[in-house]
Structure 1
């Protein structure tokens, strides 16, 4: 048991190294420091909370992997802006797509956070029946809140370039609806595909 915990800590430190390395890279000459801050600060705040609570409430390694994936996704989007990530520009040009789909991928991946939410609910509440419903509802609420924040940023700045990069609408009037729908799909798939694996990790705590 002690050996397993030491191994887990080593893995967690490696994950921390990865996310810090990407964070440092992302802040070096980004496309816009304002856009970088808007995209990266929420991830940084989340990481600070995770690190601060590590000893008191240690999550499973699976949850930490998911958190790192989401943070890295946000740091990459903040560095280039979501609508100008080079790889997805290449995909757009190669397959003659109408937009850069990195933001779509980002919102879909946010569905992975359903596993982290599931873990918190299992460990900190008495919810058994309706666990999926509560988890998905929380993810949708977070997604909707994020869209409201984007709308407020656009309204307050009166549609400046930085806010347009932050929104990443790329001319799609249904962008917010797409974003929330993809988070919903991502959260359902995450629960379907990863719940049993997550249970194995939970038993090791």
Structure 2
């Protein structure tokens, strides 16, 4: 069984440290649980599949950023993250945009999705790999909005911080649009670098590849 890479152990230790910090006196434990549960579930999947289907360090780094972002949002609630509270006051903005920033970063999940498609489906064509990966990103973004809505409907007032609309009627549309934009930006910035890292790691598509 292959051992954990040093860099991956550092990423895991960072996640564990921030998780412990996040769990210490968050603003509201109910909201904290709602926010961190998807991140913990993702982490467990990554740990379970690490030796069977290890990803590139680039993909793990991107996913680590997403997980940490969710832990921070859970601790403060997305409406009250201090740094973005300061940005809001300095710029005289109407809302704390940490949730906007978070949904933009969720678009970066396109890299590990792209990697899984490349290695498991046999699709070599970069356009179709990217297009299908983007479809997954948007599906996840839409599903997340539906889960938020259902949670708010079931839990009522206690879930208002989890919903995080801050009075914006178009919050869900903004969130999905920013995830799409994040995915596009990620592809533009990292596609070639990601391809090179997969090649250096000896990761190849299935033999019955579709061009």
Aligned to 1:73: 69
2:26 and 2:48 map into 1 onto residues whose CA distance is 28
Task: Output aligned runs, 1:83-102, within 5 Å.
Answer: 83-102=79-98
Q: Note the alpha carbon deviations across 1:147-190, whole angstroms, 9 max, x for none.
A: 000110111123x1x31100110000000000000000000111
Correspondence for 1:142 among 128, 136, 140: 140
Correspondence for 1:188 among 171, 180, 184: 184
Does 2:11 correspond to 1:15?
yes
After TM superposition, the score normalised by the length of structure 1 is 0.94
Q: Which runs of 4+ in 1 moved over 6 A?
A: none
Task: Output aligned runs, 1:41-52, within 5 Å.
Answer: 41-52=37-48
Aligned residues: 198
Task: Output aligned runs, 1:157-196, within 5 Å.
Answer: 157-158=155-156, 160=157, 162-196=158-192
Does 2:198 correspond to 1:199?
no
Q: Secondary structure at the match of 2:122?
A: coil
1:118 and 1:48 map into 2 onto residues whose CA distance is 20
Correspondence for 1:133 among 131, 135, 146: 131
Aligned to 2:110: 114
2:124 and 2:145 map into 1 onto residues whose CA distance is 30
Task: Tell me how far 1:194 sits from its aligned partner.
Answer: 0.4
Task: Tell me how far 1:133 sits from its aligned partner.
Answer: 1.2
Q: Which moved more, 1:73-82 or 1:51-60?
A: 51-60
1:11 and 1:152 map into 2 onto residues whose CA distance is 38
2:154 and 2:17 map into 1 onto residues whose CA distance is 33
User: For the aligned residues, what is the CA RMSD?
Assistant: 1.2
Task: Tell me how far 1:144 sits from its aligned partner.
Answer: 0.2
1:27 and 1:120 map into 2 onto residues whose CA distance is 31
Aligned to 2:21: 25
Aligned to 1:155: 153
Task: Tell me how far 1:135 sits from its aligned partner.
Answer: 0.6
Task: Tell me how far 1:127 sits from its aligned partner.
Answer: 1.9
Name structure 2 gaps, 5 residues minimum.
202-211
Aligned to 1:104: 100
2:7 and 2:75 map into 1 onto residues whose CA distance is 26
Task: Tell me how far 1:128 sits from its aligned partner.
Answer: 2.9
